[in-house]
A and B are shown apart, each in its own frame.
Chain A
Amino acid sequence: MRFVQYDLEIPFYDVDAYRIVWHGHYPKYFEVARCQLLEEIGFPYEKMEEAGYFFPVIDLQVKYVKPIKFKQQVKVVCMPKQWENKLVIQYRIQDALTDEILTKAQSSQVAVKMPEEVTQFQSPRQLIDAVEAWLT
């Protein structure tokens, strides 16, 4: 399965009193990786909006397998898992040197037709085509 990788060194401002990444910062890492993925797929947020849709995150599950520390070099790997009715993206944060899996996560997004704000039960054709073309 094709994936996108975002490399990161953990900055001081992301760690808490235990000197590990505070759990609330992880969604930002996923967001950067997700934007990179959508850019590579060719259907980033700007194009979604031009097509008449917002694509809010409606679900996020995170499993904090191991703590991530200040200055640790990590890679956030992400790939699309489902896209026909909602866009589900799977993430793994791994140590850049050892490949050890530190975090597992999954986000879901749905298309919302704008400005009517109507949740769509089917992803826009442009997104489906873009993901399937990128994967082949």
Chain B
Amino acid sequence: MAHSKQEVVDHINGVLIDLFEIEEEKLVPEALLHDDLDIDSIDTIDLLIELKKFVPQEIDADKFIDAKTLGDVADIVHQFSSET
């Protein structure tokens, strides 16, 4: 089932709070994964594994390599989510 952009954003935010205990007010689209949210490459893999459970089709992990902001991640996930 395809998810709306807002559903994707809400889900990603929920995962970030659960996995990394990030304060909700920091979760804005322009937040930089590394500099603002302290998410490193290893955290990104854990995030990806969690997001794969949400999207009903295989996510191309390489798409995440260039993701710099939370908004970038939401765009990628939404793209895979709406391709079903």
- Seen from chain A, the residues whose Cβ lies within 8 Å of a Cβ on chain B are 58-59, 82, 84-86, 110, 118-122
Q: Closest CB of chain A to B1's CB: distance in Å?
A: 22
Q: Are A121 and B44 neighbours in the complex by a CB distance under 8 Å?
A: yes
Q: Are A85 and B45 neighbours in the complex by a CB distance under 8 Å?
A: yes
How many residues of B sit at the interface, in one of the four size bands? 10 to 19
A119 in contact with B42 given A85-B48, A85-B49 (CB within 8 Å): yes
Interface of B is mostly: helix
- Seen from chain B, the residues whose Cβ lies within 8 Å of a Cβ on chain A are 41-42, 44-45, 48-49, 52, 61-62, 64-65
18 more A-B contacts (CB under 8 A) besides A110-B45, A119-B42, A121-B64?
A58-B42, A59-B42, A82-B49, A84-B49, A85-B49, A85-B52, A85-B61, A86-B45, A110-B42, A119-B41, A119-B45, A120-B61, A121-B45, A121-B61, A121-B62, A121-B65, A122-B61, A122-B62
